[in-house]
Amino acid sequence: MRDDSERLADILDAAEKIHRKVVEGRDAFDADEYAQLAIVHLVQIIGEAANRLSPEVTEAHPEIPWRQIVATRNRVVHSYFDVDLELLWTVAAVDIPRLAKQLRSF
């Protein structure tokens, strides 16, 4: 079973992989279905890892929107044919970098 430090590392690893695609720009993202699929998968990983963090970690860091992170994961999992690319881009380009910065400050 993975512990909190491993789950946090999973989140940061997924965030770094997302970053590598985001820096290519929005046009590249829109044109690359495989990049979109990869980012959906990485958002799922982030949400699943966040969901499995201990209450001690999540309660110690209420500044991080843990519920929203998990909700985003659930949204992309359950609407796999109707993923909103605008929302996905915002999550990838804005929300995930902010989350990574917050986690690095732990």
Q: How many residues does the chain have?
A: 106
Active-site amino acid positions:
73, 78
* CA trace torsion 25, 29, 34, 36 (10° rounding): 120
The pair of structure tokens assigned to 43 is 């958002």
Can you list the positions of beta strands (E) in 1-106?
Answer: none
The pair of structure tokens assigned to 53 is 């963090």
How is residue 91 annotated by DSSP?
I
The pair of structure tokens assigned to 7 is 């789950």
